[in-house]
Amino acid sequence: MVTQIKDPVHGYIELPEPLVERVVDRSAFQRLRYVRQLSATNLVYPGANHTRFEHSLGVYHLGRTVFENLREEPYFVRDTPDRVLDEIQRTLECACLLHDVGHPPFSHICEPFLDTSEIRERLADRGLRAAFRDAGVDEAPLRTANDHELLGCLIILREFQEDLEAMGVDPFEVCAYVLGYSLVYERGGPWQHGLGAQLLHSPIDVDRLDYITRDNQMTGADVLSFDTDRMVDSYTAHPEEGLALSEKALSTLGNYLEGRIALYMWVTQHHKSVYANILLRELVEELATVTGEPPVTLEGILEGYVDDNTVMERLRVAARDNPETTLAALHERFRRRRFPKTCWKHRIAYADRIDADLDAFGQWLVSNDDRLETALAERFDLPAHEVWIERSYVPEYEPAELKEIPIAYGGTTRSAGDWGLYGERAFDAPIPFVYVPDGHKTNATEWLVDRFYAEYGGRRENGS
C-alpha cells in the first residue's frame, strides 16, 4: 500500500505504508512541520513559510528517484544481488526522511543552546561511537558533525530504532548516512553502500538539490533557472570514484551553480534576511538572560517536541511580563518588522562606500564585531542593541567544494574544474553588513573606515 502526498515542488511523492506508519507519522518527525526551513526569512519573503517537514519529504523523493534510476543501469547492478540493493535503498530512504529530524527551533539559530558534549555522550551510550570504531572509522564523524546532525542521530536511535529494525533497516547505518558515511562500506561491503551515503552527503547530494529548488520556488525569488528533472536523470556512479554526474548534466550544471550563488546572495544573505535572523538570534539570547534558562534544551526537544511556535510563545510572554527590558524592545521591533537599513545593501554599494581594501576591511569588521559595535554605539550615543555588525548566520558559501563535482565520461571521472567548465569565474562571497538607526549610516561608515586605517595602518587614497 502506498500513500501519495502532493508536494508543490515535486508533485506527488509516494511513500510505502510502513514508512508512513513507522517514520512520517511519528511525533518526532511531525515536529518538523513547525520548524521553518529559513527561520525568519519569511519577514522578507512572505512565502518562505516552508518547513523542514516538506523539505525532508522532498529529499526522500529525490533520493529514491535517483537510486531507482541507477538500478536501471547494468554497470550499477552487476554482480550485486537485488537484496543488497534493496537494503541500500531502504537505508537511503529512511536516512533522507530523517536527516533533518534533529533541527532545533528556527534551525541554525537555536543550535548554540544544544549541549553538544551531552549529545555525544548519549550517542556513545547508545553505541554509535563503538559502531564507527568497529567499522575502522575513528571518532571524526562525531567530532565534526553539526549539532543538529548529532541530535538527529540521537533521535533516530532513541525514537526510531525499533521501527527501523522492524523494516529491516540498520539504525546505525542510517545515522552513518546522515553523517556522510556507510559503516557497511567501511567494513568492506559493496561500493554501492558508500554511494548511498554520498547521495545524502556530498557536493551534489539530493539534500542541496531539494533545498535550492524549494527555497527558490517557495520564496518566489525566482533567481533560479534550473532543470531539476534533467539533473536527477544525470546522476551516475563509478566503482572507484563513487557518485558522479554524466555529461547529460553539462547543459544544466552551470545553472545549478549560478542558481545556488544567486539564492545565497539574494535570499538567505539578502541584507534584510540577515537582519531578521540576527534579530531573532538576539531575541532568543535575551530570552535566556531574562528568564535565567535557555529557551531550547536537549530534553525539551526530546520530550516536549519543542518547535518554532513554542519559542515564539515564550518570547511573547516574557516580553509582555518584562516591558522595560531590551527583550521587550527587540520583540516589538520583530513583531512590527521595524528593520533599519544597512549601511550598504550589496557588493556594489559596499565597494563604492568603503575606501579601503574590501577583503581586509571585511575581515577586520567581522573579527572585531563586538568591540566595534560597542565603540559605534558609544560614539553616536545609541543603545547597544541598535548597532549590529554581521556577515550572515548561514554557513559561508564554499565554491571550492562545487568545483570538485565529478563528471563521468569515457569510463573515468574528472572534476568539473579539471574540464575547464568554470575558467577563472570568481564566486562572490558574503559581505559584512553594518546596521545602525536611520540617519546614522553615512557617519557610521566614515567612522568605521577611519578606525580601520587607524588600526590597520596606511592612509586613505584621497588623503583624508
CA distance 331 to 336: 8
Confidence of residue 168 (pLDDT cuts 50, 70, 90): very high
Per residue in 366-383, is it b (16+ CB within 10 Å) or e — as a string?
Answer: eeebeebbeebbeebebe
| Rounded percentage of the chain residues whose pLDDT exceeds 70 | 93
Q: 279-308 pLDDT, tens per residue?
A: 999 999 999 999 999 999 999 999 989 999
Q: Is 157 helix (H, G, I), strand (E, B) or coil?
A: helix
Residue 429 confidence (pLDDT)? 65
Highest mean pLDDT among 109-123, 218-232, 428-442: 109-123
What is d(CA 224, CA 399) in angstroms, rounded to the nearest whole number? 17
182, 176 Cβ separation under 8 angstroms: yes
| CB contact at 8 A, 3 and 17 | yes
Q: Please report the beta strands in 162-259, taking only residues with DSSP state E, as ranges in sequence order.
A: 235-238, 242-246
Is residue 237 one of the residues assigned to a domain? yes
Q: Scanning the structure block, which residue is given the C-alpha cell 565529478?
A: 406
Q: Copy the grid coordinates of residue 60.
A: 526522500
Instruction: Kindly indicate the confidence band of residue 395, based on its pLDDT and cuts at 50, 70 and 90.
Output: very low
Phi and psi of 5, rounded to 5°?
-120, 125
- Report yes or no on 417 lying in a domain: no
pTM: 0.93
* Residues spanned by the domain of 12: 2-268
Q: What is the pLDDT of residue 409?
A: 76
CB 63 within 8 A of CB 92: yes
Between 154-158, 216-220, 300-304, 428-432, the lowest mean confidence (pLDDT) is in 428-432
Residue 364 in this model has a pLDDT that exceeds 50? yes
Q: Residue 272: its pLDDT value, please? A: 94
Count up the domains in the chain and report the number.
1
pLDDT tens-digit map of 28-72: 999 999 999 999 999 999 999 999 999 999 999 999 999 999 999
Whether 322 is covered by a domain: the verdict is no
Tell me if 463 is assigned to some domain: no
Output the average pLDDT for the chain.
91
Torsion-angle region of 16 (φ positive above 0: left; ψ -120 to 50: alpha; else: beta): beta
Higher pLDDT residue, 123 or 261?
Answer: 123
Q: Which of 5-19, 172-186, 237-251, 434-448 shows the lowest mean pLDDT across its residues? A: 237-251
pLDDT for the residue numbered 397: 42
Q: Map residue 152 onto helix, strand or coil.
A: helix
How many percent of the chain have pLDDT more than 90?
75
Task: Determine, yes or no, domain membership for 219.
Answer: yes
| CA 283 to each of CA 179, 279, 286, 331: distance values in angstroms, whole numbers, following the listed order | 31, 6, 5, 7
CA distances from 179 to 37, 172, 217, 239 (A): 20, 11, 28, 21
Q: Is 6 helix (H, G, I), strand (E, B) or coil?
A: strand
Domain annotation covers residue 131: yes
Determine the average pLDDT of the residues in 358-364: 91
Mean pLDDT of 375-394: 87
Chain position carrying cell 518584562? 322
pLDDT tens-place string over residues 213-261: 999 999 999 888 888 999 999 999 988 878 999 988 888 887 887 777 7
Domain membership flag for residue 48? yes
* Domain-embedded: residue 277: no
Q: 308-321 and 271-291 helices cross at what angle (nearest 10)? A: 60
- 6: CATH: 1.10.3210.10
Mean pLDDT, residues 261-278 taken together? 89
- Is residue 426 pLDDT above 60, yes or no? no
